[in-house]
Structure 1
Amino acid sequence: MDMATRTTDDVNLDRLGTALGFLMRLAQIKVYEVFFEEFGDRHLKPGEFSVLWVILHNPGIRQSVLGQRLRIKRAHMTKLIRSLEDQGLVSRRIPDEDRRAVEISLTPEAVAKVRQASDWFFAFEGSLGSNLTAAEREQMTVLLRKFVGLT
């Protein structure tokens, strides 16, 4: 085959085609591409929504615990929380019993925004894997939960 006429379908991935980490990376990229095509104008990224959703369901959660649970590095979590605070979405509180800790809660405006965003966010999530059967999607979810330690 002429290299100049090769299409993406013709590219030989060899063992990468069965490499779990590589396939998961491609899956994440695909999810983000579809998300930003459909919801890029919503001004809320998937990671931001995830953080706000967890805070909504765990008011007063410590920033360090939140970062550990979502596997967000400390420096990135600090930057993200500061950005969310600047947008008026979260408030931070330093507890008297541990002045090194930071507790995070949503502002009333953020509670309404997150509840509203959850409709389209979870509808989007429900549409992912539309090329899978319901059983395959459920199996993929079970396996991913097991893989990341959520079982």
Structure 2
Amino acid sequence: MDMPIRTTDEVNLDRLDTALGFLMRLAQLKIYERFFEEVGDHNLKPGEFSVLWVLLHNPGIRQSVLGQRLMIKRAHMTKLIRSLEDQGLVSRRIPDDDRRAVEITLTPAAATMVEQAGDWFFTYEDSVGENLNAAERRQLTALLRKFVGLG
């Protein structure tokens, strides 16, 4: 007996359609797909931009604190900072009071680049969820901030 061919709208997700983690993962995939379609030519990934943006607003932040705040694993953060340093975007400094710590600062050229990138990044971000009205977007943002511990 042949199984019926289904369209994507006909696929039964059962309880997955109310599973928060599943829905967040689909939302992330949708956002990233659109990001790379619309602004991927800037050669800056969302995670890289986030790190650079936070560094712009927190010069000299310790790498461990930055990683914790952005929920980036230590090994990945170390690799990312090395890559950004190799590109001439950040400088690292070992503070005298804690030789195990690393303080990260944007280079002057990177600071200018990140400020300019903020224009296109936040223009893109403002378009995310355009199928929501303003009140729904504010509500979703508030709920997500609460969920991740920012609100």
TM-score per shorter chain, which class? over 0.9
Identify the residue that residue 131 of structure 2 maps to in structure 1: 131
Distance 1:112 1:19 in 2: 41
Structure 1, unaligned stretches of length 5 or more?
none
- Counterpart of 1:11 in structure 2 is 11
CA offset digits 1:45-81 (Å, max 9, x no partner): 0000000000000000000000000000000000000
Matched residues in 2 for 1:150 and 1:97: separation? 30
1:120 counterpart = 2:130? no
**Structure 1 vs Structure 2: percent identity of aligned residues?**
80
Aligned residue in 1 for 2:46: 46
User: How far did residue 15 of structure 1 move?
Assistant: 0.3
TM-score under structure 1 normalisation?
A: 0.97
Tell me which residue corresponds to 2:65: 65
- Aligned pair in 2 of structure 1 residues 65, 136: CA closer, same or farther (>3 Å)? same
Aligned to 1:35: 35
Letter in 2 for 1:142: A
SS of residue paired to 2:139? helix
> Aligned partners of 2:102, 2:123: CA distance in 1, in Å?
32
> In the alignment, what sits opposite 1:146?
146
Post-superposition, which runs of at least 4 consecutive aligned residues in structure 1 deviate over 6 A? Answer: none
**How many Å separate the matches in 1 of 2:3 and 2:82?**
49
TM-score (norm 2): 0.97
Any stretches of 5+ residues in structure 2 without a counterpart? none
Does the Cα contact within 8 Å between 2:39 and 2:124 map onto a contact in 1? no
Q: Higher RCO, 1 or 2 (CA under 8 Å, sep at least 6)?
A: 2
Aligned residues: 150
Q: Distance in 2 between matches of 1:24 and 1:78?
A: 27
Question: In the alignment, residue 60 of structure 2 is paired with which amino acid?
Answer: G
